[in-house]
Amino acid sequence: MKRLAGFYILAAVLIATGLIFPDSYYVTVVGVTICTNAVLAVSLNLLMGYAGQISLGHAAFFGLGAYASAVLTTKYGTNPWLAMLAGVGISGTLAFVLARPILKLKGHYLAMATLGMGIIIHIFFVQADWITGGPDGLSGIPEISIAGLAINNDIRWYWVFGGLMLFTTWISLNIVDSRPGRALAAVHGSEVAAQMTGVDTASVKAQIFVVSAVIASVAGSLFAHQQAFVSPESFSFFFSIELVTMVVLGGLASTFGAIFGAVLLSILPEFLLVFEDFEVLIYGAILMIIMIFLPEGLFVSGSRIVTGWLKKRELSTQ
Amino acid sequence: MSLLSVSGLEKKFGGVTAIAGLDFKVDPEIIFAIIGPNGAGKTTLFNLLTSIYTPTAGTVTFDGHDLTRLKPFQIAKLGITRTFQNLQIFLNMTVLQNVMVGCHLRSRCGIFEAAFRLPSVLKEEKRVREMAMEALEFCGMQDIANRDASSLPYGVLKKLEVARALAAKPRMLLMDEPAAGLNDTETVSMSKLIRDITSSGVTVLLVEHNMGLVMDVSDRVLVLNYGELLSEGTPQEIQCDPRVIAAYLGE
Amino acid sequence: MTDQLFQFLISGITVGSVYALVGLGFTIIYNASDVVNFAQGEFVMIGAMSAIFLYRAGVPYPFALAAAVIITMAVGMLLEKLAIEPAKNASVVTTIIITIGASIFLRGAALLIWGKDIYGLPPFTKDVPISIGNATLLPQNLYVMGGTALSVLAVRYFFDKTITGKAILACSCNRKAASLVGINVNRMLLIAYGISALLGAIAGILVTPITYTSYDSGVMLGLKGFCAAILGGMGSSMGAVAGGLLLGVIESLGAGIISSGYKDAIAFVVILAVLFIRPSGLLGSADAERV
């Protein structure tokens, strides 16, 4: 089936990598980071790429999920899955309540509002030490088990996050190619025309805001268990910006573009480590250069160049 | 029994009165044209009828429903769709997808069913595709269904807007300058399309500068000048009305 | 209590002045090129850091300050020439990422050149606190406020009265039309970035004797400048100034009366509240979509 071809390739690569290199640092550590970031980027892309609503506060929902799990399991001994559900409830409710007033805003005002939301929640993580442990964070988050199998080593976490990434990708591909997905793209294309074809734009935007928040929250809960420790800096404004960068770098409105961006930005720091003091400088330069020369993103601009080249070749061989 | 009735409609922007106390009625299944010099308030009137603007005073009633407090998507739900003076095509989609958005009100799938792609979704997708193709065929565009909207010329996009609006199966269609920017052949095919739309039972409200087209297709014509009703009648009556001639040619 | 409030007000206006200048810089670039320049805060950092190092290298204080301003302007213009101009047709989000990349790049460069330490500058004149009731005011506070006021007036004069200023405004209204009447749009953009960097450098130099600075202090300031510009209404330069001052005062009062840890949160709550009520900021005009 053509619609899911990319999805099957992704699944094959993920499984093959895990099976062939189960001990590699790039699978057990970088691989887990890649999958986590990919889940977040794909969920953000639903809101940003498809619906065209920028969010500079996505890390906040990731953090709410993580803290919900951390606080409930360490302080109240709650079952991890119930804690995750509670995180989903908190993130989903907050997103639902904020969606209408925030997504009524446009352009830079929307960017500002989501940024503010993210920063307020981050400050809460830092300051509300009676519940969040403050800047030191919370440690001793218990491990989880799935169907009796304890997720207690790195490769098992790779499978968990890999599974979540595939699931998120599948959901994203499904939504995009459906009535609500088209309504989202319509909001992006022309809000007034969307309204005149009967799309309740405010409600559609709110729905996708909730969906992307809930996915981020689930990823956050798993992240908390995987790290066994949470602290505010994982969920700062900088991480929100990094997520936006992943989505834009890969190419807006492309699920695989978002994954591509997540892979790139997760691997890049590993390679830049050898540059030591120059790391930050080079990182910034790479971002600028990619965006200047491939403004539609690596994946989208890149695949366009490749198909254009293939077409040319086809013509010249005929 | 008229389908649309407008009474005492007024819209002010700051100190400027764009529409001043307008009254008129539109009977079902006719072509009702609204003409007037540039700045007469024609597009403003359309924006009022579709609640993109809120009127300062007055009411709009469609088939017994008061439209003045509704949101644009609720108005679409009642069976009014429109096209736009400056195109509002979804350039990020294909032709077919544009028209499939037009079927939004005739399908029901929600975000959770869609996310998990339940069997009901597959069935509905197929149905929506058929409905969209039907609308495209009506406008003679079935052959370019899979082209990207952004790759098409202006004249085709104008038609695409009509197809998208028709896909909603409206009872009334508001067309804002459908022939603007079209060449002669395209204009002829557009006026045929407008007639076909009415024959299929849809009431058409038409704003248009091309007088040939207006006088050719319309059943009733309303002339606006500085936001006020100057004259209303059949095309023949309007063409002979000295006030209309004065407004158009200058005194 | 009133003395204390007065004290909060003094520090609020001082910090707010910096926000105002950064916000004004934001607005100038936004008006000229539709770009939200997230590297704006780095101008403040570069202005302050280069002044510090020139001064420590033995350059006489006033010359060190002047040279720092020139260096920052050069950085601003280079940014326009090398990163913004080549990406002319990029979408809004793409340009945002470019300026974020620029901000990271400049921070990385500052880290390489100046290291991670925190530095200060000596006050402009002898540091004798002035007492007003029980509140005290440093001469440097007055320099910050006065310097900001002068800069704002100069910017106003430039855009209202000079041909170049009007030409930049023309670019902001309609770039194509501006170039058709013979305005060199690229040069105007270059000048806009230069002015904006100039304002950042002035802000950095004025406030560093009070607040100190380090290679990464630009991020938060840039963010606050963006807040100021949004609060006032994106595109309105006097709105940005008012927004900056308001933001400074809110933060200072919030920190003093409620809790210093939550001061940024309080500021952002106020901004969100303003946006919920007025979606185009305090002085922004709501532009209706034409269909």
Residue C166 lies in a domain: yes
Task: Write the DSSP symbol of residue A50.
Answer: I
User: What per-residue confidence (pLDDT) applies to C92?
Assistant: 80
Tokens (6 digits) for A302: 């890149």
CATH of the domain at C261: 1.10.3470
Contact check, Cβ <8 Å, A195/B89: no
CA distance A27 to A38: 14
- A117 in contact with C, Cβ within 8 Å: yes
Contact pairs from chain B to chain C, CB under 8 Å: 8
**Interface list for chain A against chain B, based on CB atoms closer than 8 Å:** 171, 174-175, 177-183, 185-186, 188-190, 192-201, 207-208, 211, 253
Tokens (6 digits) for A177: 């190619």
Residue C180 lies in a domain: yes
**Which residues of chain A register pLDDT less than 50?**
none
Residue C291 lies in a domain: no
pLDDT band for position C291 (cuts 50, 70, 90)? low
- C290 in contact with B, Cβ within 8 Å: yes
User: What per-residue confidence (pLDDT) applies to C290?
Assistant: 55
Token pair 């079927």 in the structure block, residue: B103
CATH topology of domain A5-317: ABC transporter involved in vitamin B12 uptake, BtuC (1.10.3470)
Residue C283 lies in a domain: no
Tokens (6 digits) for B106: 């005739």
State the Cα angle at A118 between A117 and A123, rounded to 5°. 100
Contact check, Cβ <8 Å, A189/B91: yes
Q: What is the pLDDT averaged over residues C13-36?
A: 92
**Nearest CB to A252; choose among C93, C271, C272:** C93
Contacts of A275 in chain C (CB under 8 A): none
Contacts of C290 in chain B (CB under 8 A): 86
Task: Render each residue's pLDDT in chain B as its tens digit; 251 residues.
Answer: 799 999 999 999 988 899 999 999 999 999 999 999 888 899 999 999 999 999 999 999 999 999 999 999 999 999 999 999 989 999 999 999 999 999 999 999 999 999 999 999 999 999 999 999 999 999 999 999 999 999 999 999 999 999 999 999 999 999 999 999 999 999 999 999 999 999 999 999 999 999 999 999 999 999 999 899 999 999 999 999 998 888 876 65
pLDDT, tens digit, 9 for 90 and up, residues C177-221: 888 888 898 899 999 999 999 999 999 999 999 988 999 999 989
pLDDT, tens digit, 9 for 90 and up, residues A201-217: 999 999 999 999 999 99
Instruction: Please state the domain count of chain C.
Output: 1
User: What per-residue confidence (pLDDT) applies to A197?
Assistant: 95
User: What per-residue confidence (pLDDT) applies to C131?
Assistant: 84
Residue C259 lies in a domain: yes
Q: What DSSP letter does each residue of chain C carry, written as one string?
A: -HHHHHHHHHHHHHHHHHHHHHHHHHHHHHHHHS---TTHHHHHHHHHHHHHHHHHTT--HHHHHHHHHHHHHHHHHHHIIIIIGGGTT--HHHHHHHHHHHHHHHHHHHHHHH-S--B----SS---PEEETTEEE-HHHHHHHHHHHHHHHHHHHHHHH-HHHHHHHHHHH-HHHHHHTT--HHHHHHHHHHHHHHHHHHHHHHHHHHH-B-TTTHHHHHHHHHHHHHHH-TT-HHHHHHHHHHHHHHHHHIIIII-STTHHHHHHHHHHHHHHH-TT-SS---PPPP-
Note down the domain range covering C212: 6-124+132-277
Q: Which distant-in-sequence residues (6+ apart) come within 8 Å of A311 by Cβ?
A: none
Contact check, Cβ <8 Å, A174/B116: yes
Instruction: Please report, for chain A, the start and end positions of each structural domain, with discontinuous segments joined by +.
Output: 5-317
User: What per-residue confidence (pLDDT) applies to B165?
Assistant: 97
Residue C199 lies in a domain: yes
User: What per-residue confidence (pLDDT) applies to B112?
Assistant: 94
User: Does the model's ipTM exceed the 0.90 cut?
Assistant: yes
Average pLDDT, chain A: 94
**Count of C-beta atoms within a 10 Å radius of residue B66:** 10
Residue C282 lies in a domain: no
CA distance B9 to B55: 7
Task: Give the total residue count for chain A.
Answer: 318
User: What per-residue confidence (pLDDT) applies to C286?
Assistant: 61
The distance of C123 to chain A (nearest Cα, Å) reads: 32
Residue C272 lies in a domain: yes
Residue C289 clears pLDDT 70, i.e. is over it: no
- C277 in contact with A, Cβ within 8 Å: no
User: What per-residue confidence (pLDDT) applies to B236?
Assistant: 93
Q: Which of A129, A132, A195, A280 to mutate to test the interface with C (most CBs of C within 10 A)?
A: A280
User: What per-residue confidence (pLDDT) applies to A2?
Assistant: 75
Contacts of C29 in chain A (CB under 8 A): none
Residue C287 clears pLDDT 60, i.e. is over it: no
Please indicate, yes or no, whether the overall pTM of this predicted structure exceeds 0.90: yes
- A126 in contact with C, Cβ within 8 Å: yes
Compare all CA atoms of chain B with the CA of A186 and give the residue at the minimum distance.
B90
